[in-house]
């Protein structure tokens, strides 16, 4: 994630050097997200078919090549295409990495392992923009892409050298996609997908859109103060990740998720009532604490609910839901606050989480014990697909 986020600060500025509009500059983000959506869905079943290691190495190499193309792009069209390819490589690598962690981890420790995975993601998101910003100052707008390419090569080498591949299932493409289709029809997994959508809807809409706009336009804060609010929330995320993973494994996935969603919703609503930098910062710290708690169980539960041999399909569907939320959240909440109704925007984000909490309570079983979760979601057809070893 550090590679992905280190190019974020310079993307619009780099695009503008080609003389394109602000809308076209935003297209660099949209093309990346669109590619992720496509390859999230396709990549999950492919990982089940061919194994994690090759997909991780291939995804990292695709990222490197696409980043070099972006750095050397002679036109906006080539830059746009390179961003689409970067999105495909990013989706392939992330799906394969999450698949690998799930299938190589005992269900009793999966919460802690996924918590560390989340900590790495949050750490990368936090550090990346700083590195990218300074790199572009020391060099130019292409420098972060060269660094991104180098990171991709290092990751590919590390994955090839140190990752012991999980043997592919040997299932046919038809069997793998059939398992994915059956999984997508399960009420429990559909509810989990909505919860995941809601959490990423919140992250994209609140962190990327509402807090910067609200802080600037309503409270008159500078970019440094807004950055401090967001950094404070990210820091609280990192503080709770490891102990939160232990709670997920030892208390249960479902209660942690329910508490996280129910507590996060009112804190989001309170954002709209803050009146100063200090109150926004305090609410941001509380927000970072509870959102981390809410975000820990879903990826763990996606692995718990996966039928044997279809873990990649489960991861792919989980990531589709998350990336959809990340794309729609900023657009939807940005449209809501177009007339300045920030309180309504925060309230809508809170309402989405409340709906997720209700769906969790009604449809999602406790998945901490793998045998119980399997009985809740599997059918005879699914059991015909051999599990990885």
Q: CATH code at 226?
A: 1.20.1250.20
Residue identified by tokens 């194994």 is 51
Instruction: Tell me the average pLDDT across 59-73.
Output: 93
Q: What is the pLDDT of residues 354-367, one digit of tens each?
A: 999 999 999 999 98
Q: Which residues contact 125 (CB under 8 A, 6 or more apart)?
A: 1, 2, 4, 5, 234
**Structural domain of residue 343, as residue ranges?**
180-377
Residue 77 has pLDDT above 70, yes or no: yes
The answer to pTM > 0.85 is: no
Banded pLDDT at 389 (limits 50, 70, 90)? very low
For residue 354, tell me if it sits in a domain. yes
- Structural domain ending residue among the three candidates 165, 200, 221: 165
pLDDT at 15: 77
Considering only residues 20 and 69, tell me which one the structure prediction assigns the higher pLDDT.
69
For residue 22, tell me if it sits in a domain. yes
- Sign of torsion, CA 214 219 220 224? negative
- Structural domain ending residue among the three candidates 114, 141, 165: 165
Instruction: Identify whether residues 133 and 242 lie together within a single domain.
Output: no
Cα–Cα distances in Å, from 78 out to 10, 12, 71, 91, 335? Answer: 17, 15, 10, 20, 30
Total of domains in the chain: 2
Instruction: Identify whether residues 278 and 130 lie together within a single domain.
Output: no
CA distance 148 to 67: 6
Q: What is the pLDDT of residues 142-175, one digit of tens each?
A: 888 999 899 999 999 998 988 877 766 666 667 7
CA 173 from centroid of its chain's CA atoms: 26
Instruction: Identify whether residues 236 and 203 lie together within a single domain.
Output: yes
Banded pLDDT at 120 (limits 50, 70, 90)? confident
Residue 271 has pLDDT above 50, yes or no: yes
Residue 387 has pLDDT above 70, yes or no: no
Q: What is the pLDDT of residues 276-318, one digit of tens each?
A: 999 999 999 999 889 988 988 998 898 888 877 678 778 888 8
Instruction: Tell me the average pLDDT across 92-107.
Output: 84
For residue 102, tell me if it sits in a domain. yes
- Low-confidence winner among 69-73, 122-126, 195-199, 220-224 (lowest mean pLDDT): 122-126
**Which among 83, 84, 86, 34 has a CA at the least distance from the CA of 63?**
86
- Sign of torsion, CA 144 149 150 151? positive
């Amino acid at each position: 994630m550090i590679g992905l986020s280190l190019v974020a600060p310079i993307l619009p500025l780099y695009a503008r050097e080609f003389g394109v509009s602000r809308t076209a500059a935003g297209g660099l983000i949209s093309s990346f997200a669109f590619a992720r959506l496509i390859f999230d869905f396709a990549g999950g079943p492919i990982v089940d078919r061919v194994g994690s290691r090759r997909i991780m190495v291939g995804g990292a190499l695709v990222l490197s090549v696409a980043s070099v193309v972006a750095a050397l792009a002679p036109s906006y069209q080539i830059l746009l295409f390179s961003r689409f390819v970067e999105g495909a490589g990013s989706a392939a690598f992330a799906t394969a990495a999450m698949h690998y962690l799930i299938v190589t981890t005992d269900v009793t420790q999966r919460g802690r392992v996924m918590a560390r995975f989340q900590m790495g993601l949050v750490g990368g998101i936090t550090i990346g923009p700083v590195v990218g910003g300074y790199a572009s100052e020391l060099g130019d707008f292409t420098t972060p892409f060269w660094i991104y390419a180098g990171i991709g090569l290092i990751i590919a080498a590390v994955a090839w050298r140190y990752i012991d591949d999980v043997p592919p299932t040997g299932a046919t493409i038809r069997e793998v996609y059939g398992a994915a289709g059956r999984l997508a029809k399960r009420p429990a997994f559909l509810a989990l997908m909505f919860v995941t959508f809601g959490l990423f809807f919140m992250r994209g809409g609140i962190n990327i859109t509402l807090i910067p706009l609200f802080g600037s336009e309503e409270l008159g804060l500078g970019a440094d103060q807004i950055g401090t609010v967001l950094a404070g929330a990210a820091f609280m995320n990192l503080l709770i990740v490891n102990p939160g993973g232990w709670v997920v494994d030892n208390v249960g996935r479902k209660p942690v998720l329910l508490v996280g969603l129910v507590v996060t919703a009112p804190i989001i609503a309170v954002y709209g009532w803050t009146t100063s930098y200090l109150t926004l910062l305090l609410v941001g710290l509380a927000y970072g604490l509870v959102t981390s708690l809410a975000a820990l169980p879903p990826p763990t539960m996606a692995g718990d609910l996966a039928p044997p041999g279809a873990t990649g399909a489960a991861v792919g569907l989980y990531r589709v839901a998350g990336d959809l939320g990340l794309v729609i959240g900023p657009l939807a909440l940005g449209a809501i606050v177009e007339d300045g109704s920030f309180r309504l925007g925060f309230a809508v984000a809170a309402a989405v989480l409340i709906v997720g909490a209700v769906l969790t309570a009604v449809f999602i079983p406790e998945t901490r014990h793998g045998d119980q979760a399997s009985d809740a979601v599997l059918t005879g057809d699914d059991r015909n697909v051999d599990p990885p070893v």
